[in-house]
Structure 1
Amino acid sequence: MNKGKNQTTTIQKDSVRAVDRAIEILQVFTFEDPEHTLAQICAQTNLPKTTVFRILATLEQNNLIVQHPETGKYRLGYEIIKMGAIAQESNSLKRTAAAEMEEISRVTEQTCNLYVRDGFERLCIAQVMGAQYVRRYSYLGARHPLYCGAGKLLLAYAGKEFQSRFFESVKLERITEHTVTDRAQLERELEQIRRDGFSVTRGERDASTAMVSVPLFDYTQHVVASITVSGPVYYFEEQKVASYLEELQRAAGRISRKLGYRCSQPILIE
C-alpha cells in the first residue's frame, strides 16, 4: 500500500516538474527574441539538452511550438496565438478598467473616460458619467485631436518618431483661446508631461472643460491608453485636482498591473 502511494506521489511530482519546465521553455520566447535554437533554449533554461528536446517535441505535437524547417529555430505556435487572443478578449482593456472607472467616477463625482490613440487622434472607448454631470463634453466613440486636452498625454508617450510624423501631418489649429498652437511650446509641455507622469489641462478643447489624465501601461511596458477625469473647469481648482490625480494614479496602477505591466519601481506607492 505504501509503495503504491509513494509511486503515485513520485509520478505527480514528475508531472508538475515537467509542466514547470515546459512553462520555463515557453517563457524564453519574447518580443525581442521570438526565435531560438535548441542550444539557446538550453543555455537560457539551464536544462539538459535531452529534456529540452523531449519537451519541445511534445509542445510541437500540440502546435504550441513550431520549428522552422530550414533554420531549425523554434518559435511559438498558432495554438499559443489562439490562447493569447482568447485571453485578450476575456481580459480586454475596457473590461479590466470598468470597475476602476466606476469607482473613480463615484469618488470624484466627475466623468471618467478611457482614451486610446487611433492614428493622429484620440478615441473614447469607455465612459462613466459623474454625479456632477452638467453636459457631455465627450462621448463613447468620439474622436478628438491629440494636441489638446486629454490627448496630450497620449501624444507625450507616443515616442519621438511618431511625434515627428504627427507634427509633419497635423496642423495645430486653435480651438479655444487656451489651445496651444506653437510646436515648440507644445513639445516642451509634452516633455513635462512625461517627466510628471500625468497631465492637467483646462479649456484647451472646450473652454469650459478641464481634465486630469494618467497613462495605462500593459505587458509590453508601453502606454496603451489614458484614463481621465473631466468636468466643468470650476470643479478643478488645485486642491480638487490633487485629489483627482491621487485617485487616478492608484486606479491606473492597479489596472496596469492587471494588464501585465511590471516595473522595478511601483507606479504609485500605496
Structure 2
Amino acid sequence: MSLKTLENSLHVLKYFTRQTPSWGVRELAKKMEVNHSIIYRILSTFEESGYLYQNPETKKYELGLRFLEYGEMVKERIQLSSEVYQAMRRIVDQTNESVFLTILDGDEGVTVEMVETTQNIKYAVSIGTRSPLYSGASCKVMMAYLQEDHQERIMEKGLESLTPNTITNPQELKKDLVRIKSQGWCLSTGEYANDVFGLGVPLFDFSGNVFGSLTISGPVYRLSSIDNDQTVAILKDEGALIQRYLKHIKYNR
C-alpha cells in the first residue's frame, strides 16, 4: 500500500461522525468527490479487517467493534484519575453548571470527561465528541494559545457557521483570539450551540504548551447569574490540579 493510498483510506474514516455515522458507497464517493470504485475498495478493506461493518439491510457502512477496543485503550492511556473527577465535581458544586474537560487533538477539541449539574435544564455532550477549534469557549480558549501558523492553517480550511453566532470572518476571529489570550479565559454565547454559553480556561503541559481546557456550560438565560471573575478563579484553581495529573498526555499539535 502506497503512502498516498493509506492517507486516502484514513481520510475516509474521518467522515464517520456522530452526525453521519453511516455511509453508502456512492453517497460517500459523491461527498468526497472520489470515484465510487475507489471508495468501495477502501470500505471493503476496512470491513474485512473489522474496522467497518456493513448493515445487511441498508447496505451502508458503519464503524466496527474494533474501534471500541481502541477507544478503551485510549481511555486507559489518559487515565483520568479520581482526583480529576473530584476537581470537576467541586466546580459543579460551586458554579451549579456542568463542567467539561476537553483535550486538544490536531485541529479539533475532544470531550474526554464531563460532570453534569443537577439542574433540570442543562447542556451536555457525549464523551468523545469532536469540535472545531474556532467555535465555543472550550475550543477557542485552546486555539488562542496555538502558534500563529497553526491558527492560520485552521482558518484556511474554512470557518463553517455552526450557529448564527459562530465567527466565520478570519480577521474577526484573529482579534477574538488575541483578546482571549490576553485575558486568559474565554466566554462564548451561542457560538457552538444555540442558546448555550461556555466559560473556559486553558490547560498547559510541562513545556507550557496548551493541551486542553476546562469549561462550564449552561443555558444562556442563566449567564446573568454567573460571576465571571469568580468562576474563572474556580476553574483556574481546580485546573491547576488537573494539569498536574494530565501533563503526560501526548497529542497532535
For normalisation by structure 2, the TM-score amounts to: 0.62
Distance 1:244 1:214 in 2: 10
Q: Could you list the runs of 5+ residues in structure 2 that have no partner in the other structure?
A: 1-75, 249-253
Q: CA deviation at 1:258?
A: 4.8
Alignment gaps of 5+ in structure 1: 1-88, 262-270
Report what 2:149 is aligned to. Answer: 161
Query: How many angstroms does 1:133 deviate by?
Result: 4.7
1:215 aligns with 2:202: yes
Shift in Å at residue 132 of structure 1?
A: 2.2
Indicate conservation of the 8 Å contact 1:198/1:215, yes or no.
Answer: yes
Distance 2:226 2:100 in 1: 21
Residue in 2 that maps onto 1:146: 133
Deviation per residue, 1:39-97 (Å, 9 max, x gap): xxxxxxxxxxxxxxxxxxxxxxxxxxxxxxxxxxxxxxxxxxxxxxxxxx788456552
Q: Distance in 1 between matches of 2:84 and 2:120?
A: 21
Q: Distance in 2 between matches of 1:260 and 1:139?
A: 23
Q: Give the Å deviation of 1:185.
A: 0.5
Q: Deviations over 1:12-40 (max 9, x none)?
A: xxxxxxxxxxxxxxxxxxxxxxxxxxxxx
Where 1:220 maps in the other structure, the secondary structure is: coil
Find the counterpart in structure 1 of residue 243 from structure 2. Answer: 256
RMSD of Structure 2 on Structure 1 (CA): 2.4
1:116 aligns with 2:108: no
Q: 1:180, 1:96 → 2: CA distance?
A: 36
Which position in structure 1 is the counterpart of 2:221?
234
Give how far 1:244 is off.
1.9
The within-5 A match list for 1:39-118 is 92=79, 97-118=84-105
Tell me which residue corresponds to 1:196. 183
Residues 181/153 of structure 1: CA separation in 2 closer, same or farther (3 Å cut): same
- Paired letter, 1:223: V
Q: Which residue number corresponds to residue 175 of structure 1?
A: 162
Partner Cα separation in structure 1 for residue 224 and residue 86 of structure 2: 26
Q: CA deviation at 1:197?
A: 0.9
Percent identical: 30
1:259: Cα distance to partner?
Answer: 5.0
2: CA distance, partners of 1:90 / 1:122 = 17
Distance in 1 of aligned mates of 2:156 and 2:81:
32
Contact in 2 for aligned 1:112/1:227 (Cα 8 Å): yes
SS at match of 2:227: helix
- Alignment-mate amino acid for residue 91 of structure 2: I
Q: Which has the larger radius of gyration?
A: 1
Q: What SS does the aligned partner of 1:124 have?
A: strand
Greater RCO structure (CA 8 Å; 6+ sep): 2
* 1:128-139 paired onto structure 2 within 5 Å: 128-139=115-126
Given the two structures, how large is their TM-score scaled by the length of structure 1? 0.58
Taking structure 1 as reference, are residues 179 and 240 closer, same or farther at Cα in structure 2, changes over 3 Å only? Answer: same
Q: Check 1:94–1:185 CA distance in 2 against 1; reply closer, same or farther (3 A cut).
A: farther
CA distance in 2, matches of 1:131, 1:121: 29
Report Cα offsets for 1:176-206 as digits up to 9, x if no partner: 2211110000001111111111101111011
Instruction: Tell me how far apart the structure 1 counterparts of residues 101 and 177 of structure 2 sit (CA, whole Å).
Output: 19
